[in-house]
Homo-oligomer: A and B are copies of this chain.
Amino acid sequence: MSQAVKTVSEDSQYIIASEPYYQEAGDEISLFQAAYDSRIPMMLKGPTGCGKTRFIEHMAWRLARPLITISCHEDMTASDLIGRYLLDANGTYWQDGPLTTAARIGAICYLDEVVEARQDTTVAIHSLTDYRRTLSLEKKGELLNAHEDFHLVISYNPGYQTLMKDLKTSTKQRFAALEFSYPDAETEATIVCHETGLDRDTADRLIQIAKHARNLVGHGLNEGISTRLLVYTAQLIQKGIPAVTACQMALVRPLSDDADMRDTLEATVQGCF
């Protein structure tokens, strides 16, 4: 095969330089470590904004492996993952996609919201998730053996799955799974204060609002208030915005367009401040 393969040399860009702050909720760090040691592909399950992305960044730092994150979406093709031919003055050359790069350099490859991707994406990873640990670059005619440090991780939000969009059973059976949910009140308050410098009393009130809202999931709300929105609210308060206004701006309005639901949420906010 005469054609050159240009791999991206700045692998260092995928290294997590400093420790990402992560507050462990259970024994997920040691369980992930055990799965990594056996190179068992992992599935991280849980709702939006509960810390899955932060966890995988933390684990990549802890394991000192480069991390390549791929946000999946329904228009993503297998070529977006695996690679394609490009053209320069000497003709076409092959450029590895992010999955191929990860398999070559021994990175952790994190496929975020993999259920959004089309089936060709999920089928493409099958041979990387069983004992073969190979990736077939069919368009290039290469059968790539994954680097021994390569590890595949996917995220999966069970609340999102529908009849039309779900992982195939033959895909699910290739992963062990960890479950994530919102942190407990104590942990969440610690996170909000650590990230924004907010005083503890105000943080507790925000978390009380979040607790109320999370109880409304399935009763008019699709998802509860994420830790991320609590951090936004705290940041706005720290910038001098009154707490009630900050809550409306970052907790109420983004969540719902339904007038009744917003009245309920705003009453909760009023009651807490």
Contacts and interface: CB of A to CB of B under 8 A. Distances in A.
A40 B250 contact: yes
- In this complex, which of A85, A123, A225 has the most chain B Cβ atoms within 10 angstroms of its Cβ? A123
Interface stretch (A88-96, A182-190, A201-209, A263-271): A88-96
Given A48-B169, A90-B91, A169-B222, A177 B119 contact: no
Given A31-B249, A77-B75, A92-B86, A38 B236 contact: yes
Contacts of A255: 172-173
The prevalent SS among residues of A at the interface is mixed
Contact of A91 (B38, B88, B173): B88
Interface residues of A, number: 100
A235 B73 CA distance: 32
B6 A130 contact: no
Interface in A101-154: 101, 112-113, 116, 118-120, 123-124, 126-127, 130-132, 136, 138-139, 141-143
A179 interface: yes
Interface string A167-196: 001101111111100000000000000000
- In this complex, which of A31, A157, A176, A239 has the most chain B Cβ atoms within 10 angstroms of its Cβ? A176
A87 B127 CA distance: 29
Contacts of A116: 119, 123
Interface in A56-112: 69-78, 80, 84-92, 95-98, 101, 112
Smallest CB-CB A-B distances: 9 pairs: A88-B91, A177-B253, A73-B120, A8-B141, A48-B170, A34-B239, A75-B120, A176-B250, A73-B123
